A and B are shown apart, each in its own frame.
Chain A
């Protein structure tokens, strides 16, 4: 297990390095930088441009250096917890971001837990009651959930909430808590608001998980050993939980690797629609205004969140499956 752990961590390092390089390359892609955008804006408004100050800014943030020098500066800054400077807000990125990263993590992981719990229950029900009315209804809802893009689901929910309850369900906490220091009351308010975005973001993931668990479990349930167990007089429930379910659960956990990027993607758009105080809306703004360090930090954070999540799921899988733990390699 220890060997596997070490190997797994060693693989993560080059992955993260490569991701940071791609991220940096992408945020450098647009021609010019934030300062040229700013100059153009000032000039179009007919205001005087202080070229001395611009040059000073450019030098301070290394914008006049070569691409690789800038990348190394950015990377080494990040390693010591300095994510650069947001030109738009005129503040270090660390101060601008605030607790958005925390809230994004909370939303993402709550969504995963939601997906697991719901698809676990429904998947088992669908598999053990194959071709029943309940199975058909759930399959249909699952397909709809799979096909409806979650930002549209968010819109529809906002509309329905407005029509039937006359309230806005956007946001992640009561408006009175915004910009307040953290307190138990604020945590409570977040928890009370959390379930709507979690359901919206989790729907499509839940739908695909249900289908997968149902298919896997059905495969297992038709195998000889289950028939033997039943023939020997094992109660139905025990004959389900003891072996078939454990076998079917494997891909369930391995799939977090595919699920997490999807959730993070979904959360980014949904949070724009529902104006959640997470990374999504600010990333969108930063991308639009070419605030490169801010955008880069968010992209990097989202990627790290995914990589770490996949790492955790691989560990869980290793703990569950001795074939992987003992060096057989991940069977996907």
Chain B
């Protein structure tokens, strides 16, 4: 670097050329813009966050997921009906359309009522839209009673049907229960299955992969063989067999935890592999050798020095394996091996749509497919974005 203050000649003690006496500030020569300075001084997580924000699709997916998870907190209030509210006069009622205008006149959000007729020749329930029955929605109203999170009784809803009217925006099922409300309640179960499952598989993956990567040698070999073997097993039949082994006497809550544990138990292999290969690369780094020389225990080195340096990668790959679990639960419940009736998840709802006749006559029973696809896509995009952001220096 050629600085303006040159050295003295030294031989005669007198400067052989001009030396500026003004105080020297090395930062003066390469003035960073405020923007650059912010960038260079930012922490790793800050950089990741900026890089993540540039991935528009991932940000949008993240927002959708936040909304979905947020909705599970207040599902009771958002749903117009209760989870088990039955309307025996409206069994297999088709979805009602939301309208704003009647005959070109502004009314606000309302639905047309049904007229119901049992077709005596085909024995089919026939519902027709009756344009005379205008049923405006009520907002911030009192409706079906519920226990908020099973604890606090309440009746407050965001939207209710008109007095004496109906509000089945997604139709009803074979017991006359509102599909929309049930899907909202199902969100709670379906989304948390993935979270609990991933927590379990995360713990397994980090511990087992960490041991394999840190110790190497025969531990590594054993773990590698075990992972290879588990991966060559087709996942779903194994899940089916394990969940069929859950005792029928278990309460629904126990079954729910059993299923999440089963999902997590088989899923850790991918994470363990990622942890292992990262550890193998990182443990030869200088900071790791230094820590070992200073007498840090293996546990401390793994937890304090190694894990933080690739946590971001782990979070990204965990995000990418959540949809697999959600799909797994959906498939198991759909087959009748997973969660059972009093618990409502998207898969349990889809169980009703297993029969081709039902699907042909009452196609709206297949609607829980939509949130499944949206969630899985959102998790995939979010995971892609996180994975790109996990390495901000590239």
Contact = CB atoms under 8 A, between A and B. Distances in A.
Contact of B233 (A27, A258, A295, A303): A303
Interface magnitude class on chain A: 35 or more
Interface in A110-154: 143-144, 146-149, 151-152
Given A159-B359, A162-B356, A307-B232, A268 B372 contact: no
Contacts of A310: 232
Given A152-B372, A170-B356, A302 B237 contact: yes
B331 to A, nearest CB: 5
A131 to B, nearest CB: 15
Contact of B359 (A155, A266, A295, A307): A155
Nearest to B363: A159
A159 B360 contact: yes
Contacts of B240: 268, 283-284, 287
A269 B234 contact: no
A272 interface: yes
A162 B377 contact: no
B7 to A, nearest CB: 45
A151 B331 contact: yes
Interface in B358-384: 359-360, 363, 366, 369, 372-373, 376-377, 380
B229 A269 contact: no
Nearest to A295: B241
A30 B380 contact: no
A260 B232 CA distance: 8
B244 interface: yes
Contacts of B336: 288
A186 B376 CA distance: 40
Contacts of A284: 240, 335, 337
Contacts of B228: 15
A156 B366 contact: yes
Given A149-B327, A265-B236, A288-B244, A19 B229 contact: yes
Interface residues of B, number: 39
B232 A19 contact: yes
Contacts of A29: 242, 245
A59 interface: no
B311 to A, nearest CB: 24
A39 interface: no
24 contacts: A15-B228, A22-B233, A26-B245, A30-B247, A144-B373, A147-B323, A149-B376, A155-B366, A159-B359, A159-B366, A162-B356, A168-B356, A261-B232, A264-B234, A264-B237, A265-B236, A269-B334, A272-B335, A273-B354, A284-B240, A287-B244, A295-B241, A302-B237, A306-B233
Given A15-B225, A152-B372, 18 more contacts: A15-B232, A26-B241, A143-B377, A148-B369, A148-B373, A149-B376, A152-B369, A155-B353, A159-B360, A162-B359, A258-B231, A264-B237, A268-B236, A273-B354, A284-B335, A295-B244, A302-B234, A306-B233
